[in-house]
Amino acid sequence: MTDLAAFIRSLPKAELHVHLEGCITPEQVVAIGRRNGVAPFESVQAARAAYDVSTLDDFLAMFAKASEVLLHEDDFAEVASAYFDLAAAEGVRHLELMLDLQAHTTRGLAIGTVFDGLARAQRHASRNGLSTSLIVNFMRERDEEEALALLASLAPYRSQIVAIGIDSAENGHPPRKFTRLFQEARMMGLGLVAHAGFEGPPEDIEEAIDLLQVDRVDHGNRVYERPALARRLGHMGTALTVCPCSEVELGVVASLAEHPVRRMLMDGMRPSVHSDDPAWFGSITENYIALAQESALTRSEVLQLVRNSFATSFLTASSISRYLAELDEKIDACADRA
């Protein structure tokens, strides 16, 4: 492992873009599937082969198939706890877990099964020093009425939820479809995020900002196709959660070396690095290391990304200050040893 990789592993960081369903490993999909009498794959080897996808459509199909093994509270607790443990071991101190609730409710699961299972994992994480909260994502290919009804039914679980977002299929499903949903969520005091400009056009990023008034854009990798929009995001200091390995593996960014993250930093945007779907594309630290090595990021660029991860989280201002101070202490300690 290089010095930079060791340095990245040692840094306290926040993870803001990771999907629960993207944490289901090939081993879990087989073990949990067998336990529940739902066996989408015959073996771990077959699951691993099926996880090898190269387009968003193929990925979404596999993501749905893997999600179908989750039936009981225990299953949700197990998958979330396993990733919380891995993330904590890699220095993650705060994690905002995304959840595609419709991937479960449309299969007939009760909302409580999902949230009670995740609450158990969140208590487990808290005992390990990892703070967590949930972001409920609504699928862009489904309609707004369904999303509004689901949002209204989340009241009993409000304390676990920090924000809502939109994700899944982008082309043909623009953010403007969800303007009322986001207005409603804003009135409830929830944070707002949106997957935009991943596969879909840069206009989606503009709609997410202007119509949905999001706090963060998830991905946003296509922003430079519209230079005026990129300048605007730079002036606004827009937060972007980039996920370099999924963006490259699903073919929306040509290579890690050509990832726009450095440009985003230079232009005043506030990107940070995340795993997206760690069972497919590697953990948060693996994403940082791959990006840093292939894009030849400097230590100070890596540190700015890590600082952004706390500063653009939904933590309170005092918690953000505390984590940034912890990060500074760590950097000072590294400098003393150098």
| Closest approach of Zn ion to the CB of residue 327, in Å | 25
| CB of 13 or CB of 140, closer to Zn ion | 140
Instruction: Take residue 220 and report the two structure tokens written for it.
Output: 């946003």
Number of C-beta neighbours around residue 124 at 10 A: 16
CB of 98 to Zn ion, least distance (A): 7
Token pair in block for residue 131: 């703070």
Instruction: Give the shortest CB-127-to-Zn ion separation in angstroms.
Output: 27
In the bound state with Zn ion, the residue whose beta carbon lies nearer, of 7 and 63, is 63
Residue 22: CB minimum distance to Zn ion, A: 7
Tokens, residue 240: 């972007």
Is position 90 an interface residue for Zn ion (rule: CB under 5 A)?
A: no
- In the three-class reduction of DSSP (H, G, I as helix; E, B as strand; rest coil), residue 99 is classed as strand
| Residue whose structure tokens are 């994700």 | 167
CB 271 within 8 A of CB 233: no
Residue 274 CB, shortest distance to Zn ion, in Å, is 8
CA distance linking residue 166 with residue 140, whole number of Å? 6
- Residues numbered 93-152 forming contacts with Zn ion, rule: CB under 5 A: none
By beta-carbon proximity to Zn ion, the closer residue of 168 and 285 is: 168
- Which residue's CB is nearer to Zn ion, number 207 or number 276? 276
Task: Please give the biggest Cα pair distance in the chain.
Answer: 57
| The only residue of 138, 276, 289, 303 in contact with Zn ion, by rule CB under 5 A | 276
- Measured from the CB atom, the residue of 15 and 75 that comes closer to Zn ion is 15
Tell me phi and psi for residue 113, to 5 degrees.
Answer: -60, -45
Binding window for Zn ion (CB under 5 A); candidates: 120-128, 274-282, 293-301, 315-323: 274-282
Region binding Zn ion by CB under 5 A among candidate stretches 44-52, 257-265, 276-284, 297-305: 276-284
> Contact, 253 vs 222, CB < 8 A?
no
Extract the runs of DSSP E, i.e. beta strands, from 33-155.
92-100, 131-139
Q: Which two tokens stand for residue 255?
A: 């290579």
Least CB distance to Zn ion at residue 296 (A):
26
4-12, 114-122, 156-164, 268-276 -> range binding Zn ion (CB under 5 A): 268-276
Residue 96 or residue 276: which is nearer to Zn ion going by CB? 276
Q: How far apart are CA 213 and CA 238, in angstroms?
A: 11
Cα Rg of the chain (Å, integer): 19
Nearest distance from residue 18's CB to Zn ion, in Å?
8
Q: Which two tokens stand for residue 260?
A: 């726009």
Q: How far is the CB of 245 from Zn ion (least distance, A)?
A: 12
Q: Decide whether 73 or 168 has the Cβ nearer to Zn ion.
A: 168
Q: Which of residues 194-213 bind Zn ion (CB under 5 A)?
A: none
Stretch that binds Zn ion, among 118-126, 209-217, 275-283, 312-320 (CB under 5 A): 275-283
CA dihedral 221, 225, 227, 230 (to 10 degrees): -20
157 DSSP 8-state letter: G
Of 216, 208, 211, the residue nearest 237 (C-alpha): 216
Q: Which residues pair with 94 in a beta bridge?
A: 14, 131
Q: How far is the CB of 264 from Zn ion (least distance, A)?
A: 17
Rounded to 5 degrees, what are φ and ψ at 137?
-95, 140
Nearer to Zn ion by C-beta: 204 or 276? 276
> Closest residue (Cβ) to Zn ion?
276
Considering the complex, state which of residue 217 and residue 305 has its C-beta at the smaller distance from Zn ion. Answer: 217
**Residues near Zn ion (CB under 5 A):** 276
